[in-house]
Amino acid sequence: GAVVSQHPSRVICKSGTSVKIECRSLDFQATTMFWYRQFPKQSLMLMATSNEGSKATYEQGVEKDKFLINHASLTLSTLTVTSAHPEDSSFYICSARGLLGGTDTQYFGPGTRLTVL
Amino acid sequence: QKEVEQNSGPLSVPEGAIASLNCTYSDRGSQSFFWYRQYSGKSPELIMSIYSNGDKEDGRFTAQLNKASQYVSLLIRDSQPSDSATYLCAVARNAGNMLTFGGGTRLMVKP
């Protein structure tokens, strides 16, 4: 099956610092990757859609200058949380769109738990 | 009205029973439907996808879709304690495109 990795799996940082999260599709090329955020006991909320070689499309209410997304290759997308604050503490999950076994669907990474002190 | 609705639960079933999870959606243009399982602290794992009206079976799992009623369900036969998790229903206009998730139903299978 499709494998999507995220790094780091867990990060703790001080308020005001920036944090970069990597999302990689390991065994397939992903023209589209998605970034989600999940707060405790809530469902996944789509933050942005990232297409290789073009600017990301952000969902309403998500600040593009705060959550910088770069999709430089078909296997790598990065999310940088700039000037992180405690309210940015959350579980960040990426997914990659792939066509495997004739099925076009999204495959999720294991997630990155961000804690901002 | 939420775009994708699920009963938050918890749904409690005894081991070996059938668990029935339900989901309704509001966008009639939806064409692709997915069930994900999410264990606490982990990311979602795809269980089933369904695109046509009717039933689709995979092992102990059966997905049911009724586009006219805008309803999709997941049946889990012979439920096991390891099935205890939150089940997320997701809907998209096209396969692989933006998914809209329901709030999830927490399932508890008791030994």
Instruction: Quick: pLDDT tens for B48-66.
Output: 999 999 999 999 999 999 9
- Of A101 and A20, more confident: A20
In DSSP terms, which residues pair with B104 in a beta bridge? none
Identify the sign of the CA torsion A76, B33, B22, A62: positive
> What pLDDT, on the 0 to 100 scale, is given for residue A64?
92
Instruction: Quick: pLDDT tens for A27-69.
Output: 888 889 999 999 988 888 999 999 888 889 999 999 999 999 9
> What pLDDT, on the 0 to 100 scale, is given for residue A1?
62
- The CA distance from A52 to the nearest CA of chain B, in Å, is 15
Residue A95 has pLDDT above 70, yes or no: yes
Residue in A98, A104, A108 closest to B43 by CB: A108
**A36 — phi, psi (to 5°)?**
-120, 160
> What pLDDT, on the 0 to 100 scale, is given for residue A72?
82
State whether B96 and A104 contact (CB < 8 Å).
yes
What 3-state class would DSSP assign to A75? coil
What 3-state class would DSSP assign to B81? helix
State whether A108 and B34 contact (CB < 8 Å).
no
